[in-house]
Structure 1
């Protein structure tokens, strides 16, 4: 038969281990959540930077601003043909 002191020590150790495990898992999960949020923010910043760079390249490359839609009131066939001649 096991004495009551040994049982108290056993169950105290078990309870301490369960509480420590719960606390440790909670801190690990908080760190993982924080890391996940930081990665998402970094990815979003990267996408915004890429979009800005693409927009800047588009603005620099499209200096002639030729309207290619024939339904647009600013459409000019001569400018369109001239821009095609420049490209080729």
Structure 2
């Protein structure tokens, strides 16, 4: 009889140990999954913020006129910042 009691104690001890390990392992898996989900959500929000910044920058950036050359010379005669003297000097430099 003593040996069957010892075997039963050993069985139930292994069962309880297995249950405790299972609960611990499941909680570590859940916390790992939650952490991964939080990191993915954070990365998604970062991408959205960067995209919004780029769109805002593109929206608020002054429009480049087609009449402005790389030298910054304004060739549009109707522009209030048009400088006739600078325009004539640039044309004189183009045609030697």
Is the shorter-chain TM-score for this pair beyond 0.5, marking a shared fold?
Answer: yes
Q: Trace 1:1-88 onto structure 2 (pairs within 5 A).
A: 3-65=2-64, 74-76=70-72
Structure number with the bigger relative contact order (C-alpha 8 A, sep ≥ 6) is 1
RMSD: 2.4
Runs of 5+ consecutive residues of structure 2 not aligned to the other structure = 75-80, 82-96
**Aligned positions, number:** 72
Runs of 5+ consecutive residues of structure 1 not aligned to the other structure = 67-72, 83-88
* Bigger Rg over Cα: 2
Structure with greater helix share of residues: 1
Runs of 4 or more consecutive aligned structure 1 residues displaced over 4 Å after TM superposition? none
TM-score by length of 2: 0.62
TM-score by length of 1: 0.66
